[in-house]
Structure 1
């Protein structure tokens, strides 16, 4: 198996989700740190436009979005599983809720003034302004939840999580699964990055105890890698074969077409390329660049849109 390379930054909640999955599966991986805000020239040289964090690279195959990254890691090392028997659907549904509704409420709560002061302690004012401008652009004009509304919503969600933990160590049973890692990462940000606001967790001690169990899983074994080394590996590698994949056409777009793929609600930068695969769960684009060579960039179907490029 080629090296697993995670493009991320230490304070990214979604990267924490994947780092814990890597630890759960006891996988060795290489770490490439990327900027928190655009521009991200080394990352977009690999992805072709996608800029969200994290991105997983295996040779010349580039995997976008944590839902797809989880599936890839599950295929590489099925045990311990992210999807306990008879609970795969529930694990995916809880994870999708956590990555969207829970994340949105928790971040709106975390980024009230006292939280911002802790996240950016010691940083120059320009760095804070750049971050705010970057995330505003990612929302594409959508309004951000008020911190007061977010606090009430976050508390309700925490009570629901506590209820799920009654009589068991993890959200869906006695072993951690995808639902746990997805639910943990927004709460981790509150506890780790905005501790002045972490008192919101005190009313749900079951949740705090569960968080201690998840944190103890760790991140596996990582080693540093430079962005240039990652790009060189992509250039020197060939994408994995797509033979045997079943084409599922939902759009009337033939394989070989030039298309654009973009997230459907946040971070809408499109990625252009040649559609070389469309299975029931993912899309794959072939792209060639001077810095990356020929790569395959993979996206999940859920949460992304596919459009044909007009001639």
Structure 2
């Protein structure tokens, strides 16, 4: 199999989620550091429009969204599992809550004025301004919690997580599952990225102990790779046997499932439902039970298959030029 390449940056919370999954599964991976804000020309060469962090590349397959990345890593390395047999559905639902509701409550608390100021302490004023403008553009149309409401919700969620840990090391038992990784990364941001705000965690010592156990999983074995090298690896994979046989990527299910009346081979766009709605346009080559795949051609990256999960993303027929 081609190398696992993670495109990320060190302070990205969703990247920390995937770095820990790679550590848990003891996988070797290549690390491409990408910009935290636009412009991101090397990112867009691979994704075609999607600009959220992280995304994962294997050959000329590009996987967007951390939930889908977890599924792909489970397919590549089934043990230890992220989805316990007795609670697969519950683990996924809890992870989805953590990646959305918990995450936005935590960020509303973390990035209130004093938290944001600490995050950019020592940086030039224009850095904070550029970051704010970038995330503002990504949040167009979203309803965001005010700091007071976010703080109240975050405290409640931390107490609920502490209750889940009563008598066990992880959220659903004595081994971590996908829900642990999803719930960990917003709290990691509080503790590591804005430590001035980390006092909110002190009221739930069980949560702090769990966070220590999660951090101890590590990040696996990574080696550095440049964006130029990653794009070249994508271009070199174009036309490979795996591409011709399985355009839906690293998944055993290629059955077409049509909910939109859009046939395969159509020109379509896919975009996130809410945060980061920049669309990716391409040819719809797969629409399985869990994901969509677009085929697109880039002058630098060659033929790229860009994969998105169904949940959280909107598929539309492309408008004629």
Is this a same-fold pair by TM over 0.5? yes
Partner of 2:300: 291
CA contact (8 A) 1:242 1:277 kept: no
Distance 1:200 1:222 in 2: 32
Match of 2:67 in 1: 67
Unaligned runs of 5+ in 1: none
SS of alignment partner, residue 291 of structure 1: coil
1:143 to partner: Cα distance: 3.9
Q: Which residue is 2:217 aligned to?
A: 217
Q: TM-score, normalised by structure 2?
A: 0.95
- Please give the residue correspondences for 1:74-113 in structure 2 after superposition, counting only pairs within 5 Å: 74-113=74-113
Q: Which residue of 1 aligns with 2:261?
A: 252
Question: Match of 2:188, SS?
Answer: helix
Q: Residues of 2 paired with 1:310 and 1:48: CA distance? A: 16
Q: CA deviation at 1:245?
A: 1.2
The TM-score, its normalising length taken from structure 1, stands at 0.98
CA shift for structure 1 position 117: 2.1
> Is the Cα–Cα contact under 8 Å of residues 295 and 304 in structure 2 kept in the other structure?
yes
Q: How many matched pairs?
A: 311
2:286 partner SS: strand
Instruction: Work out the CA distance in 2 between the residues paired with 1:211 and 1:204.
Output: 11
1:54–1:66 contact (8 Å) kept in structure 2: yes
Within the alignment, does 1:228 sit opposite 2:232 as a pair?
no
Deviation at 1:121, TM superposition (A): 1.7
Shift of 1:34: 0.6
1:116 CA drift (Å):
1.2
Question: Aligned-pair distance for 1:194?
Answer: 1.0
CA offsets per residue over residues 30-83 of structure 1, 9 Å max, x none?
110111111110001000000000000001000000000000000000000000
**What stretches of structure 2 of length at least 5 have no aligned partner?**
248-252
> 1:121 maps to which residue?
121
- Structure 2 CA distance, aligned partners of 1:196 and 1:103? 18
CA distance in 2, matches of 1:93, 1:10: 27
Question: CA RMSD of the aligned region, Å?
Answer: 1.0
Structure 1 residue 112, shift from structure 2 partner: 1.6
Cα displacement (A) at 1:231: 0.3
1:242 aligns with 2:251: no
Aligned-pair distance for 1:146?
A: 1.3
